Structure 1
Amino acid sequence: MLRRLLAEHEHVVVLRGAWRAGRTVVALRPVRYAPAGADPFRLLRDTPAADPGAGVCGGWFGTLRYDLGERRHRAPVGCRTGDLAYVDRVLRQRHDGEWELAGLTPLGRAETDRYRELVRTAVDGAAPGWSLGPLSFRPRADHLAAVRRCVELISAGELFQANVAIRLSGRFTGDAAEAYLAVDGRLTPARGALVRLGGPTVLSASPELYLDRDGDTVSSAPIKGTAPRTGGAAALRRSVKDRAENVMIVDLVRNDLGRVAERGSVVVPDLLEVAGWAGTRHLVSRVTATVPAAVDTGTVLAETFPPGSVTGCPKLAALDTIDELEPVSRGVYTGAVGYLAPGRRSEWNVAIRTAEIAGERLEVGVGGGITVGSDPAAEWAECWTKAAPLLHALRAGPLPVEHEGRRAARVTARTSPA
């Protein structure tokens, strides 16, 4: 069914996985786009929901590029901030499997019937293909030197931790949407996404939650500490280096949220939990806070972006270190993909395990948190451990076309006027 939707809609955003808005959310029919060079945090302003019980029926969907954080702190010239579109239709699959067509403006009978038929109809035929050529990337020796330099800066007291990354690049030809479906189907990420809004196409297989706002409650679930899936969970939990990475970033996230939260409301309900993802295990913590209704979600994003887990601490020193040690822009990588809907509903992933396709060029960023105890060779190996599942999924070819049948035939309609 998603193949049909993606074929019919040129500009679309798809969210799949553990998003609170739904198991699958397809943002349809953009009615306006963020102007070039605009500050997204000024656009992402909360509006009331006419029917709070209607769920996510539309709003702003798209990407926030890592470069946006650089612009906010250092204002580089010509910074691209992301691709965002305001949509007034979403087709969403609830976590019980049922589909709903929802809108911020009234839904017509013909429109509802068309999507009901689309969901009901089985999909047949061969899936389009694609190809990914050999990858180019920063030489190993250069990355090891960057890690050593970062350790020197940490030892000198300039900062405590920084995320240092490499950029993989290769020639991509074929159907990017089909590549996304294959990645999502093989990796089943918790925070997966496809963004196709006229700029670079973004394929995200992220496991990480950057920010979730539901009314007055805000939460973040930073991932720091990584080991191959073949290793034991207990060994990862005992790792001094990985625990230190995670706890430092938890403190950073607490500090970020503390600037906008009610005094005393920032808590850490989960600390150093082990979670598995395709090919890797991670340490995951969760930070929650109460943010007053008077504090706009755009302000919350501005005070916490870029995500702490992919920058470092102190954040400004980490941004400076990343700028010194990484020779190319990160793009969407380590930015965010998500949405802001009326009624103070907003969810954003951390754009890791994410590919960006512009023309015939595909780029993937991978990196890791550097602490005083980091071993450069181990950090290089960790980059490839993280990249391997996504690269394998991209090279494995299309998934078989599903025959979704009539079990998905029921589509209900919900309207929540903006």
Structure 2
Amino acid sequence: MSPSAAAPALEVLRHLIAAGHRPAALIGNWFGHRAVVAADVEMTPCAPADLFAAPAPCAGDPWSFGHRPYSGRAAQGVADCVALLSDDGTWSLSGPASSNEADPARGALLEAIAAAESSAMNEGEDGAGIVKLGWDGGDRASHRRAVNDCRQAIAAGEVYQACISTRFHAQLPKGVEPLAHAAGWFCERALHYQPARAAFLPGNLDAGVPIVASLSPEEFLIRSGRRVSETPIKGTIPLDRDPRELLASDKDVAENIMIVDLVRHDLGQVAEVGSVEVTDLLSVRPAPGVWHLFSTVEARLPEGLSHAELLEACFPPASVTGTPKIRAAQLIEQWEPVDRGVHCGCIGAAHGEDLELNVAIRTAEYESDPTSGEVRVAAGVGGGITIGSDADAEWAEIEAKATPLLE
């Protein structure tokens, strides 16, 4: 997607924030559109198993936005009217209130669209007005220990591979409004890097729900009716390298294929017997700052399977855990010194029979300290570890992936 394709939706998001709204936005490739934008979404915490656990879906349902963190409480919010940006650059409204001229959300969206069409968002424009965050350097020593511990566990036969993550942190200066800062941070980077599955949710800091701004390139669950797909990412090199190196790397190819097998297993728990198939194996594609190896697994679901049941069977995403999944998750909890939070969970929306979620990587989380009230920003970055991994090379991969977040 070109910068001009993302700009209209980001401009609408900026106008909604400026007008005092609390918008949610999915920007990139979502639900067959370039963007899905809601004017106001009240995010409330919920149990992870309750996310998208609505009654049997139908075409007239509202849009439900939410995130399920790798660790911690999930959160969701509902919008009766959203704006959809089509491939030809035109806007339309969707949801049960989309034709109600008295609906405040409908009016807010139309006003923001009109304002966006009379202005233009240029790359770097937001950057001049955003208070820059002073990110720390991450915990390289703990990451090195975790990589070496993982290699020992692989040698001992406990796991075949695992994803090891680290966290970068920054403090939001006092007096800076968190939602406006997060939206500006998100718009600047989404315009520049064009992530495929970008997502912005307004959070609810008073209720302990973080503001999330995700530049994710990775699909988790993409469901339309009874068809579902997952497209895990495994295998990474910096963008300035020759992408053919990925397919020539035994380590990266083996890592990807192992995760494909895990995705087949996850979907196989709930899919119709014999319907799980790999439809794309080892495709090299660009993502913000890097080249990645992508593969796609598709399946057919039985009649009556809810979004919540599908999510429960497949969570956490295969690409951010390891094989075998349960043991890898147990070891990750021991190896990583802090909880992952939203990082490595999922973010997205449900509408009727459709569900689309990203994998919450390349994602910033704005959280309020319950004691001091200060707002801290965290960004998690990780990578897959195999027996052939080198701790210094893995940290270099972390830095390449972190560049779009921290620069």
Structure 2: which 5+ runs fail to align? 1-11, 369-374
1:380 has 2:402 as partner: no
TM-score normalised by L of structure 2 = 0.86
1:103 has 2:118 as partner: no
Q: Which residue of 1 aligns with 2:193?
A: 187
CA distance in 1, matches of 2:56, 2:67: 20
Quote the sequence identity (%).
Answer: 40
Contact 2:221–2:356 (CA under 8 A) maintained in structure 1:
yes
Q: Which residue of 1 aligns with 2:263?
A: 253
Q: Which residue of 2 aligns with 1:396?
A: none
1:220 has 2:224 as partner: no
1:12 has 2:16 as partner: no
Distance 1:314 1:114, change over 3 A: closer
> Which letter does structure 2 place at the counterpart of 1:59?
W
Query: Structure 1 residues 13-22 or 127-136, which shifts more?
Result: 127-136
Q: Which residue of 2 aligns with 1:89?
A: 81
- Aligned-residue offset at 1:238: 1.1
Contact 1:9–1:28 (CA under 8 A) maintained in structure 2:
no
Contact 1:59–1:339 (CA under 8 A) maintained in structure 2:
yes
CA distance in 2, matches of 1:185, 1:368: 25
Q: Which residue of 2 aligns with 1:232?
A: 242
Q: Which residue of 2 aligns with 1:336?
A: 346
- Aligned-residue offset at 1:50: 3.8
Query: Structure 1 residues 36-45 or 184-193, which shifts more?
Result: 36-45
> Which letter does structure 2 place at the counterpart of 1:229?
L
CA distance in 1, matches of 2:356, 2:302: 17
Q: Which residue of 2 aligns with 1:131?
A: 132
Contact 2:218–2:233 (CA under 8 A) maintained in structure 1:
yes
CA distance in 2, matches of 1:193, 1:134: 21
1:14-53 counterparts in 2 under 5 A? 14-30=25-41, 34=44, 36-41=45-50, 43-45=52-54, 47-50=56-59
Which is bigger in relative contact order (C-alpha 8 A, separation at least 6)?
1
- Aligned-residue offset at 1:21: 4.5
Tell me the number of residue pairs that the alignment of Structure 1 and Structure 2 aligns.
Answer: 371
Distance 1:124 1:353, change over 3 A: closer
Contact 1:41–1:299 (CA under 8 A) maintained in structure 2:
no
**Superposed CA offset, 1:281-329 (max 9, x none):** 0000000000022211111100000000001111101111110100101
Distance 1:109 1:141, change over 3 A: closer
- Aligned-residue offset at 1:13: 1.3
CA distance in 2, matches of 1:201, 1:376: 32
Distance 1:114 1:165, change over 3 A: closer
Contact 2:279–2:298 (CA under 8 A) maintained in structure 1:
yes
- Aligned-residue offset at 1:136: 4.4
CA distance in 2, matches of 1:159, 1:194: 34
Q: Which residue of 2 aligns with 1:211?
A: 221
RMSD: 2.0
Q: SS of the counterpart of 2:215?
A: strand
Distance 1:40 1:26, change over 3 A: farther
**Superposed CA offset, 1:304-360 (max 9, x none):** 000000011111011111101001010100001101111x10000001011111243
Match of 1:66 among 70, 86, 95: 70
- Aligned-residue offset at 1:171: 1.7
> Which letter does structure 2 place at the counterpart of 1:118?
A
- Aligned-residue offset at 1:2: 2.2
> Which letter does structure 1 place at the counterpart of 2:231?
A
Query: Structure 1 residues 6-15 or 191-200, which shifts more?
Result: 6-15
1:325-364 counterparts in 2 under 5 A? 325-342=335-352, 344-359=353-368, 360-364=375-379
1:304 has 2:314 as partner: yes
**Superposed CA offset, 1:236-286 (max 9, x none):** 111000001100000000000001101110000100010011221000000
- Aligned-residue offset at 1:89: 1.4
Q: Which residue of 1 aligns with 2:298?
A: 288
Contact 1:256–1:304 (CA under 8 A) maintained in structure 2:
yes
**Superposed CA offset, 1:105-124 (max 9, x none):** 36333555664343223248
Match of 1:370 among 366, 369, 385: 385
Distance 1:96 1:110, change over 3 A: same
CA distance in 1, matches of 2:376, 2:309: 34
Q: Which residue of 2 aligns with 1:116?
A: 110
Contact 1:41–1:302 (CA under 8 A) maintained in structure 2:
no
Distance 1:233 1:183, change over 3 A: same
CA distance in 2, matches of 1:230, 1:124: 30
**Superposed CA offset, 1:44-74 (max 9, x none):** 23533246xxxxx73220211001xxxxxxx
> Which letter does structure 1 place at the counterpart of 2:394?
E
Contact 2:146–2:335 (CA under 8 A) maintained in structure 1:
yes
- Aligned-residue offset at 1:100: 1.2
> Which letter does structure 1 place at the counterpart of 2:53?
L
